[in-house]
Amino acid sequence: MKKTLVRALKRFAAAGAVVLAAVSLQPPPASAAPAPIVGGTRAAQGEFPWMVRLSMGCGGSLLTPQIVLTAAHCVSGSGNNTSITATAGVVDLQSTSAIKVRSTKVLQAPGYNGSGKDWALIKLAQPINLPTLNIATTTAYNSGTFTVAGWGANREGGSQQRYLLKAQVPFVSDATCKQAYDELIPSEELCAGYTSGGVDTCQGDSGGPMFRRDANGAWIQVGIVSWGYGCARPNYPGVYTEVSTFASAIKSAAATL
Ligand code: ARG
């Protein structure tokens, strides 16, 4: 992929799923069946209790009861910000039992300029009494099979979902991922997906976590949904922020909020 094209696509994606739906990159084949995330299934209520939907159309995860970890490209900068609503505690965004809390502050990754460093923190007005998701602090879990979840599009140009969807995607090495994306930043980004495509995150999943089980069987976040060329295309894996690279920066930033 040409760097400039992918940059443009990333900016385009950040502009919002509504716009994207109207001017899809490329229509899916008529045979493409609507599938969750792309190629996933519905998550059970309570299965991923730390999943958060953000009102700008992104995902996120509870880093602490009062701080959501999301993508830098989902926010417009740092500072006081009461415009974002976080919805949590439900797989059904329309559920009357949804917990909805406003933001108070946003912290975008220092030095974020549209390539790499795709992480941000959102401070909530009140803590949410739900389990949090630990972040990986070493590279130990940056391989294997990952789980992704979100309310984003179920295909390129598809609509945002009412119910939380999940899927599993295998790790893709930096060397293989570089073949698809010459602009990949291997130290800051982690790739996942099938060579044959078919399963992937998509527009509106951004900011949400990619996670797996650690040695103790606990969920651990290894990635943040960041970008890709289209969704679920063969030979174009999803690209995720490599959480372990930024774990100490994320924790020290969280301590300032
Ligand atoms: N940038 C997209 C968003 O804002 C996420 C794209 C993920 N794409 C992919 N092929 N995995 O929601």
Domains within the chain, CATH numbers bracketed: 7-40+134-245 (2.40.10.10), 49-131+246-256 (2.40.10.10)
- Is pLDDT above 80 for 220? yes
118 has catalytic annotation? yes
- Residue predicted with more confidence, 67 or 32: 67
| 77-105 pLDDT tens trace | 999 999 999 999 999 999 999 999 999 99
Burial class for 7, CB neighbours closer than 10 Å (0-12, 13-18, 19+): middle
Residue 28 confidence (pLDDT): 34
60 lines ligand 1 (CB under 6 A): no
Residue 16 confidence (pLDDT): 39
66 lines ligand 1 (CB under 6 A): no
- Is pLDDT above 90 for 38? no
Whether this prediction's pTM lies above 0.95 is answered by no
- Is pLDDT above 50 for 189? yes
> Considering 61, 103, 118, 205, which one is annotated as catalytic?
118
d(CA 217, CA 184): 30
Q: Which residues pair with 213 in a beta bridge?
A: 219
154 lines ligand 1 (CB under 6 A): no
Mutate to test the pocket of ligand 1, among 202, 233, 241 (most ligand atoms within 8 A of CB): 202
pLDDT band at 37 (very low <50, low <70, confident <90, very high): confident
14 lines ligand 1 (CB under 6 A): yes
Tell me how far the alpha carbon of residue 238 lies from the centroid of ligand 1, in angstroms. Answer: 7
Mean pLDDT along residues 244-248: 98
210 lines ligand 1 (CB under 6 A): no
Atom of ligand 1 nearest to the CA of 229: 10
182 has catalytic annotation? no
Q: Whose CA is nearest to atom 6 of ligand 1?
A: 227
- Is pLDDT above 80 for 256? yes
Mean pLDDT along residues 15-31: 34
226 has catalytic annotation? no
d(CA 159, CA 151): 9
Mean pLDDT along residues 184-202: 97
52 lines ligand 1 (CB under 6 A): no
Q: Which residues pair with 145 in a beta bridge?
A: 170
Mean pLDDT along residues 183-198: 97
> Considering 61, 103, 206, 226, which one is annotated as catalytic?
206
142 lines ligand 1 (CB under 6 A): no
Q: How many CA atoms lie within 13 A of 10 on its CB side?
A: 26
Atom of ligand 1 nearest to the CA of 73: 4
Atom of ligand 1 nearest to the CA of 205: 12
Q: Report the percentage of the chain scoring pLDDT > 70.
A: 86
Evaluate whether 211 touches 28 at the Cβ level (below 8 Å).
Answer: no
- Is pLDDT above 80 for 27? no
Check the CA dihedral 109-90-19-156 and report its sign.
positive
* Structure-block tokens of residue 215: 């040695």
| 119-169 pLDDT tens trace | 999 999 999 999 999 999 999 999 999 999 999 999 999 999 999 999 999
